[in-house]
Structures are given as C-alpha cells and as structure tokens.
Amino acid sequence: MKKILFFPGNWPLNTSRQTYFEQAGYSCAPYQQAELATADVLLLVTPVRDDEGNWISPETVWKKYLSTHFSHLKVIQAGWHNEVPGKNYLNWFELPVNFEAFVELASTAKDWVPYDTEGENLGEMWAKFLDGHDKLGFTDWFNVAKRRTILSWEQLSQNTALYDEILADYLNDPDTLEAFENIQSRWKRYKGMFSADPRQQELAAFETQLDQLKAGWQDCDNPEQLLERLNTLNTAFAQLETLKKELHGT
C-alpha cells in the first residue's frame, strides 16, 4: 500500500475519508519530516491555523523545501475552493471518484505550482522574524548579544583579572541584557506561526539552542565559571548561526 502523509498532523481525518484513501490503495499518517523519503503523496491542507488563531499560508516554503529535497513527491494541496485551481488541488468536500487517477495526473513537487490561500505568508513571516524593521529583528539582537559574548570571552580568557570589569562593562550593560531578552521574546512571538513549516527537525534544533542562549552569568561566582558559561553561549551562537541561514532560505 502506498503512503500519504497529511499536514497538519492534527487534521481530523474521519473514518469515511480514511476508507476512501484505503480503497484507492493508500494508507494515511500524520506528517513527520523523517518519513518524507518513504512517502508517495503529501496532502497539504491549507491555510493552516496556528494556536493563536492566525491563518498561515505556508505553500511557498513547502514548495522550496520539497522541490529541493523531495522533488519526486506528489503534492496534493487540499482545501475548500469549489473552483479547483489546478491539477494538484483537492476539494476536501468533493473528492474525486478515482483518487489514484487524480494522483497520477498531479505534478511532483518539482513542478507543483502552489495555490495561494491568502493567509499570512510563511516566507514573509520568516523575513519579518529575522530582519524586522529598523534594526528590531531577531538577527540584529542576535548579533549584538553574540559580539558582546565573544568579546567578553576573548578578554577574560587572556586576563581573568578583568572579571569584574567584563561583567560591569559588557555583560551587565543594558544593551547586552536587552539583546538577550529580545532574542527570546522575538522567538516567542513568532514560533506559533512556524508550526506550519515543514522543517520540524531544524526548528526543534533551533529551539534547543535558543534554550541555551540565556544570560546565566549572574550565577557565576568566579572567572572559571564565567568562562564556562561564555563557552556554552558561544557554542549555541555558532549552532544558531548555521540553522538561521538554513531556515532563512525560504
């Protein structure tokens, strides 16, 4: 039996529709990024509603990701439009009589032309999150915090006698503390929207590293502890830099 992955994974696929797909020779499973390599069809129900009630249109992000990494995959965009906009679009309430023939005619990810469902564009949300306006984006706060952390580590590793000076002039400086706070608040504001993104593994890794990106030097009692904390932060910054570039490629 061939395999359909459907997204969002919590989409209510009732018994009648499961039976419909099974009769056409397809099993259905909630979307998992790791299973894309063995899937035959991706059923993408759009727009996607996040936990805050925002309607997200993620089609362009999915298009780029799938056409780059899984160009062979058949992508079926599902929704509620009566006038079907293209051969890859499935009206969820008027299913085709012959689903297998429908899939056969559908384009693969490489040639799929997404239908814009007119929600919040996920690619634009990534740009707003990272770039922001007037130097208020994640990247700007990230760079400030990164520079202060690296400078503190370099000076302290060369001269531990600068411990108090580094804390006062660099780490506990209001601009530094503001940068670390805004990195977290920026992510908290946008991460719900990113639940519509196909790159679950990268997002999980991004959030894991963000959890490491908290000041923490207030708990350090000596230069050795502070150096250890700064090392942890520098590692997180490096990992996030790589992930940020990858996720920004939307």
pTM above 0.75, yes or no: yes
Low-confidence residues of the chain, pLDDT below 50?
Answer: none
Task: State pLDDT tens for residues 17-68.
Answer: 889 999 999 999 999 999 999 999 999 999 999 888 899 999 999 999 999 9
Distances (CA, A) of 126 to 63, 215, 244, 245: 15, 25, 10, 11
Q: Report the phi/psi class of residue 60: left, alpha or beta, with left for phi > 0 and alpha for psi in -120 to 50.
A: alpha
Tallying the residues shown for the chain, one arrives at 250
Per-residue buried b or exposed e for 162-185, using 16+ beta carbons within 10 Å of the residue's own CB: bbeebbeebbeeeebeebbebbee
